A and B are shown apart, each in its own frame.
Chain A
Amino acid sequence: MIYLDNAATTAPDAGAVAAAMKYLQAEFYNPSALYRAGFSAHRAVEEARKNISALIAPQGGYELIFTASGSEADNQALFSSVRRGNFVTTEGEHAAVYNTAKELAKRGIEVRFAKLLADGRVDVADLLAKVDEKTSLVSVIHVNNETGAVNDVAEISARVKKASKAIFHSDGVQAFGKLPFTLGGGVDLYTISAHKIGGVRGVAALLRRKGCRLDPLVFGGGQENGLRSGTENTFAIKQFEFAAKKKFDRLHGDLEHVRALNRMAREALDERLFEIISSEEASPYILSVAAKGLRGEVLLHMLDDAGVMVGTGSACSSKNKYSRVIAACGWNERYAEGVLRLSFFASNTPEETERAVAVINECARKLAERMN
């Protein structure tokens, strides 16, 4: 099987798993315990916190709070920051922000969604026009999980800060460890996750600019400085640390490697069958394409049977025909129904990419024949 759904999750890095294994077994102790073994586990967690922070915020100025998922970190950022006034976000957010925004709207907060440009980035002029003195939070996704569109969050956050006192949050789950980026400027809160870069599921983090207000979402024993209670998952945290360090060490090399795979796929996809959705400037880790007039999920099943695993814009159902993000970019039904998402990782080879694209072309051609 060829796995091209790395934006959904990546295989846990085996070396990082092996290095962290002792925290799952021999050194399983509760980091809050007062005996030496507990304190040692605490030290291990603090070391991970310091090391991961250093990767994304080398200048300091940020504090890292471990959470159990990227969705949880997004929820904490939103529920903590949006207390009154309005909340400005975009139509290109991951569900963890988008559906939380819907929930906030239900609770009486005015939510304003900024439009997307055709390439999937937020329309910054529209976003800024929606921000006013009553805006309590602005949240803009760094790299969109469906199109790979990259928002310049450093620039956007700086402009938001000029226009208002709003807190600025960004979901950086698809950017962290993949694109060169360090925190600074106007970004107050930033979400990262382990399992998109070779970490295991069950651990993620929210980075907070020091001084920015943040309230807990989970209350209890007061772990994470009282900001996220719950006994720390030392194994997952350490494995995250090792995987992240490895990924950052190779960030530029991986980026070039993945860029080459992306380019190869773009060139080899049969243009009579496919339209490329992701712009040339998008993150090369994500390549969204639309099979013209075909249903993405049907094609996905055929690819699965033929040994290629890819993602699709959204689940196929009579009620939910296609992705809101793809539609927000202005693609009509004929394209939006046929979206496939190919997402790469450093472990993918040119040979398997070439093979996968040949299979994708062949399956789409067969399906078009069967349907017409």
Chain B
Amino acid sequence: MERERVIIVRYCEIHLKGKNRGYFEKVFMNNLEKALTGIRHEMKKPSGRYIVEKFDEARTDEIIDRLRKVFGTHSLSAGYQVDAEMGAIYDTVRMVAPESGSFKVQANRGDKTFPLNSMQINAEIGGRLLKDKPGLCVDVHSPQSVICVDIRENGKALVFSEFVKGAGGMPVGTSGKGMLLLSGGIDSPVAGYMIAKRGMKLDAIHFHSYPYTNMQAREKVEDLARKLSVYTGGLILHVASVTHIQEAIHKNCPDEMMITLLRRFMMRIAERVSERVGAQCIVTGESLGQVASQTVEGMTSSNAVVRLLPVLRPLVGFDKTEIIERARMIGTYETSVLPYEDCCTVFLPKHPLIRPDLKKVVQAERKLDVEGLIAESLEGIEEVRI
């Protein structure tokens, strides 16, 4: 009897998409394939799920770990594929079934020519299991284990009993493209994660102010981008210097406006880069009231310089503790808390403006060669493919 290890991937929400469903499924499958780069396998798509076959069994856990992080994945099961024949099916069920506790068998008959219907399969397999494993009892309402038997249309059957929760959400690439402002902090990678979860493809932009910030800080941001890229299916990191911008603000504008003005420059640069790479929105990790610059007035001041694109702030209503919890879950927290200086703490005023008045901000900015400074920053921008 041939028994092959397989992984079943189920998706969420795609079924809601009506006529676009084919497109969503295609993007999802591409993302799954991309996640398995470097691992030999084959992927099939019978109706309503994907099946990964012909891989090295020793890599089962690794494959599950990679696939569960692909947005759009609802759940996964590692199981076996056997010939759709009751003897082979039962032998496999007996192998995966526990020795004791409550269970139920849940059959699903895709192939309607199979001689037994679902209820008959449940009864037949359940009965034999009770005989062979006296420690087991049936509980159809809340069993400790569910053993699934799936009779496929290709003469094969799937047997599995474990369920691993997937990342959920929508396949990345089905909701346009955004430009994430990636600092070295805790919030921005989480913002990227949240927005990618809704299917958005991301590029990221990082601002540094070397020599005021160091190479370790830059490396840290690349690490964060790498961790985030597991969920976003790779990303391009744009690295721009704001050193001369900060120096110009420091020299010409009131100290307390440093962050307000700097953020306006960041937004302008992010929008220009977005236009260049076809990103349709700017994504930031701001959370209302978290720090002095993240007030509604602060956001108004930075929004005012973005000409066309929407600015998405997926964390706007989150508490810091909620953000930290998510950062830990996606694995970016440990990197985010490494204590390197980032550009926002250089020239940091003792008392930053909490409620900047847009008119005064605009007035202060008149002392700067805004276009010249932006052009200089754009010219020196580096692209890192993560």
Contact = CB atoms under 8 A, between A and B. Distances in A.
Given A370-B247, A371-B250, A320 B339 contact: yes
A272 interface: no
A302 interface: yes
B212 A298 contact: yes
A298 B210 CA distance: 8
**Which 3 pairs between the two chains have the least Cβ-Cβ distance?**
A301-B211, A317-B339, A319-B339
B256 interface: no
B15 to A, nearest CB: 48
12 contacts: A297-B214, A298-B211, A301-B210, A301-B211, A316-B214, A316-B340, A316-B341, A317-B339, A318-B339, A320-B339, A370-B247, A371-B250
B363 interface: no
Interface of B: 210-212, 214, 216, 247, 250, 339-341, 345
A317 B340 CA distance: 5
A369 to B, nearest CB: 10
Nearest to B250: A371
Contacts of B247: 370-371
A316 B214 CA distance: 8
A26 to B, nearest CB: 40
Contacts of B250: 371
A318 B341 contact: yes
Nearest to A371: B250
A294 to B, nearest CB: 11
A295 interface: yes
B254 to A, nearest CB: 15
B224 to A, nearest CB: 16
Interface residues of A, number: 16
Contact of B345 (A302, A305, A315, A318): A318
Given A298-B211, A318-B341, 13 more contacts: A295-B212, A298-B212, A302-B211, A315-B214, A316-B341, A317-B339, A317-B340, A317-B341, A318-B339, A318-B345, A320-B339, A370-B247, A371-B247
Contact of A301 (B214, B339, B340, B345): B214
Nearest to B347: A371
A91 B247 CA distance: 37
Contacts of B214: 297, 301, 315-316
Contacts of A300: 211
Interface string A298-320: 11111001000000000111111
A336 to B, nearest CB: 16
Interface string A330-372: 0000000000000000000000000000000000000000110
B216 to A, nearest CB: 8
A297 B211 CA distance: 8
Contacts of A370: 247
Interface string A257-300: 00000000000000000000000000000000000000101111
A370 B210 CA distance: 13
Nearest to B348: A318
A308 to B, nearest CB: 13
A322 to B, nearest CB: 13
Interface in A175-193: none
A319 B345 CA distance: 11
A295 to B, nearest CB: 7
B255 to A, nearest CB: 12
A315 B217 CA distance: 11
A275 to B, nearest CB: 21
A317 B341 CA distance: 5
A305 B211 contact: yes
Contacts of A295: 212
